[in-house]
Each structure stands twice: as structure tokens, then as C-alpha cells.
Amino acid sequence: MSMVYEAMETPVAVRVKGVYIAESRESSPAPVVLLEDDSARIVPIFVGLSEAISIHHALSGELSPRPMTHDLFVSVLESLNASITRVLIDDLDGGIYYARLSIINSSSQSEIDARPSDCLALALRVKAPIEIQEKIMAESSINKSEVDRLTGIENFL
């Protein structure tokens, strides 16, 4: 019975709260994107530096003088009359998040396996909904005190 429930689980809508740097004594600073739902639960997703910068630029509305990779991908989709309809973070295995990018064109709809960081950078550019499975939201959310220890990425750029 639980397998049926999981298959029918409703994803939770989230928004990107911001891009931060997590600093620790044990390791070098690491970029982290925080996703927040309407209940103020926050899920951290660690990303690479270039993806963090891309997500930060999309959040702040900054445009690069030349198209960066995520901008190029959006342009290619538009030239093919395709668009991103949503992003779903649908799995967590060994600390690694997995996501799907939903794309539609005039003749078909596709779901493509992609890194959450790329999905977030693309979704922000096209204002597509971002969702995360409830199970992952419940397992991965952090408390406010952990968020307070993070530094905004703009302080590093």
C-alpha cells in the first residue's frame, strides 16, 4: 500500500530563497542553494561554484554581456519552440539530489534527468515552477539556526 502512496505523492512547491556560502573549519567554503516552501521549511542543496553564480544572476536579474550556458540552453529551447514547464527534485540517494526537467513542444512532452543545480538555474530564467517531493522535503529540511550561519554569495563575488 505504501508504494502506491509514494507513486501518487504530491510534490511541494518551493522557491529559491537564495544562494549562500557554507563555511566550516573542516572543509573549504561550499556554495549552497536554499529552497523554501510555504511552511518556511528550508532544504539546502550544495552546488558547484559556476552553477551558484548562474543561479544568483538569475535571482538578481543580472544579464551577462554574452550568453552563458544556461542562457544558451533557454535560447536553443525557444528556437525549437519548446519550453520548460517545471522542475521536480524527485530523489535523494547518499546525499545526492536528483531532478527532472519537464520540457514541452508542439508535438510532445519530455522529462529529462538533470542535476538540480542546472534545473534551478534554468527554471529561474524562464519562471518555471520548482517542486520537491514531500518525502525529500521532510528528510532534508534544516532549522533556522543553520541558515543564520550562512553568508550570502554576493559577499564572495
> Rounded distance, CA 83 to CA 103, Å?
6
Number of domains in the chain: 1
- Is the model's pLDDT at 94 over the cut of 90? yes
73: domain range? 2-155
The CATH number of whichever domain residue 55 belongs to comes to 3.10.690.10
pTM over 0.85: yes
- Residue 66 pLDDT grade (very low, low, confident, very high; cuts 50, 70, 90): confident
- Is the model's pLDDT at 50 over the cut of 90? yes
**Burial letters 107-124, b for 16+ CB under 10 A, else e:** eeeeeeeebbbbbbbbbb
pLDDT tens track for 99-147:
999 999 988 999 999 999 999 999 999 999 999 999 999 999 998 878 8
- Residue 80 pLDDT grade (very low, low, confident, very high; cuts 50, 70, 90): very high
Count of other CB atoms within 10 angstroms of residue 35: 27
